[in-house]
Each structure stands twice: as C-alpha cells, then as structure tokens.
Amino acid sequence: MSDTVVLDVDSARQLVVSTLERHDTSPANAASVADALVAAERDGQKGHGLSRVPSYAAQAASGKVDGRAIPVLVDEKPAAARIDACRGFAFPAADLAVDWLAARATDSGIASAAIFRSHHFGQAGYHVERLAARGLVALAFANSPKAIAPWGGRSGVFGTNPVAFAAPRASADPLVVDLSLSKVARGKILVAAEAGEPIPGDWALDADGHPTTDAPTALGGTMVPMGDAKGAALVLMVEVLAAALTGANLGFEASSFFDADGDSPGVGQLLIAFDPATFSGGAFPERLETLVGAMLSQDGVRLPGSRRLESRARVAAEGLAVPKSLLDRIIGL
C-alpha cells in the first residue's frame, strides 16, 4: 500500500473546508484558511500546510480559536490600520489587511496594518506575495508562542517569528523572501515528530539547553536562532514590531498553536506595503531587473523562493502527494 495519496488542489481545498466547517468554523473562514494551507502545501511548505488541519479543527471545536470570528477594522488613519482578529484564525484578518493595504498604499505611497488577537499566520510569504501581485513591495512580521530563548538563556521567550518580503517583477513571478528566524520553522519539527523521524542536531535544544535530534524532545525545548546571537537580536526586533507595537500577546504569554488547550494565542502581525512608483519615480522595475540579472549572471545562483515555483509547477503536473497517515487523520475528523 502506498504511503502517499495524490490529491488535486481543488480536492485538497474542499477537504480542508469541509473538515473545518464540521468543527464550528464559518464557510467564509474555512475557505480563507483552506486557501492558505493548500497554497503552503503546493509551495512545498508542508509545516504550514495540511499538517495543520487536525490542530486547527481541534482548536475551533474547543473554542480556543473562534472559527466564526469576523475580523474588525478598529482604527484607521490615511496610511495605518489596526485590525482585531477577534480570537479567530489569522487568515481572514490578513485577507482584510491585504485588501486595505492594496488600496491605501497606492494612494499614500506607503501603508501599514497591525493585526492583534490573532493566531498562526502560516506561510508569511503567502501574504506579501499577494500584495506584490498587486504591484506593491511588501513586508510582513509575525510573532508566535515561545520557542527561542534569549541568547545565552535556556527558557523560551520569543517565537520563531517569521519575516517575509515580496516585490513585483515586470515579466516574472514576484520575488519572495520568507524566513523563519529559527534555523528552521517549528512546523518542520512537528512534521518530523508526527512521522517519527529524527531531526538534524543543530535545529533545536532540549529543556536543559543541549542539542537534540529527537523531534518530540525538541518540541519541549527551544529552537536555535538563525545566525546565533545576531539571529536572536533579529527575533527580538520582530517581537517588538509584531507584538509590542500591535498590542498583542508576547511570545511567552501566548498559548500553543498546536493543541486545543488554554486561551487563544492572541499573537500579532504587522504588514507594510510600499508603492514602488512613489519611491522610485518609476525606476523600480528596471532597477530590480538589473539587480536580478547581476545575481543570475553567476553560475550556481538561484533567486530566493525559486523552489516554491518549482513545487507549484510539479503540483500542477502531478497533484499534491499527501502522506496517507495524515489524510486518514483528517478524514477521521
């Protein structure tokens, strides 16, 4: 018996929608979540893809996440907005932010949107790429439950705190940079734990601060920041931008994204969009392509995010290969 089952994108999306709807999630919110999770699965970011469905469904059913929440624009100025995710999934609030930013950044040259009382933001590049598709340069910052200790410490204070950037290109897919500030996204360790597989020894530390290759032990310890001390400083920067600046829960105050216990995580996100024509006087497309050309003129250079495009092409031709064990769990819900 095969260890994987191949689904087309539409079938995968409908599976997520129907599963979440059965777990007290509104059709509109289920569709927003499904779009994001299936996009992550399609892009090869499985830690932010279908592997999240069981925990999302459990949290909606328990009320840890309000699956019927409608995000609210609680304050806005000409180029700044504050959005309350209302303890719901992050994706409907991010949808609202993307639409608002697309309109306001074009008018003002730059616009920002802060999201609070939010949840797992998923693949951060998904959100900025949608802004780049509308002609904008975009940044996203998100905080998450504690997973990284301050440099020199042993107890988690910060999350893995992703940063994403996207820029439109004149005749190609947007340039997208999507980084977790841990050496790897914590979702990859979750996938390894569920599969019973070891992890590399430089990904995480156990509760005593020692390196571990055991994924469940790593989930009970802390993540190693990308770039060691310098990465830990970047994690702090994102925590300030995504949580302190938005009025959201700090990483050490937020409950887990992975289980149905406790209060809502209540984390935050910050998105910033720039109109490139305003800042460059119209020179941005040529300047970006000159930069990209200089990079790609060297043998062995790949643009960041190119693997996601390769994964999309493969999925378009072959479908989504989903582990049968995961598919059985989702169907069993």
Domain ranges of the chain: 4-182+225-293+304-332
Cβ-based neighbour number of residue 1 at 10 Å = 3
Which pTM value belongs to this model? 0.93
Residue 2 has what pLDDT?
A: 66
* CATH 3.30.1370.60 corresponds to the domain 4-182+225-293+304-332: yes
Q: With beta carbons less than 8 A apart as the criterion, state whether 160 and 132 touch.
A: no
Six-digit token string for 175: 């340039």
Q: Which is nearest to 173 in space by CA: 129, 139, 136?
A: 129
Q: What letter represents residue 2's amino acid?
A: S
Contacts (Cβ under 8 Å, ≥6 apart) of 181? 148, 160, 161, 162, 163, 225, 226, 231, 234, 235, 238
Strand extents, DSSP E, 14-162: 72-77, 80-84, 110-118, 137-142
CA distances to 50, 199, 306 from 44, rounded to whole Å, are 11, 18, 11
Sign of the Cα pseudo-torsion (43, 47, 51, 55, in order):
negative
CA dist 5 and 63 (Å) reads 31
Q: Which of 44, 18, 56, 39 is nearest to 321 (CA)?
A: 44
DSSP letters for 223-286? EPBTTHHHHHHHHHHHHIIIIITTT---GGGSPPSSSS-SS---EEEEEEEE-HHHHHTT-HHH
Give residues with Cβ within 8 angstroms of 272, minimum separation 6: 110, 111, 112, 138, 139, 140
Per-residue pLDDT of the chain (333 residues; tens, 9 = 90+): 469 999 999 999 999 999 999 999 999 999 999 999 999 999 999 989 999 999 999 999 999 999 999 999 999 999 999 999 999 999 999 999 999 999 999 999 999 999 999 999 999 999 999 999 999 999 999 999 999 999 888 889 999 999 999 999 999 999 999 998 998 877 788 889 988 999 999 999 998 888 999 999 998 899 999 998 999 999 999 999 999 999 999 999 999 999 999 999 999 999 999 999 999 999 999 999 999 999 999 999 999 999 999 999 999 999 999 999 999 999 999
pLDDT value for 1: 43
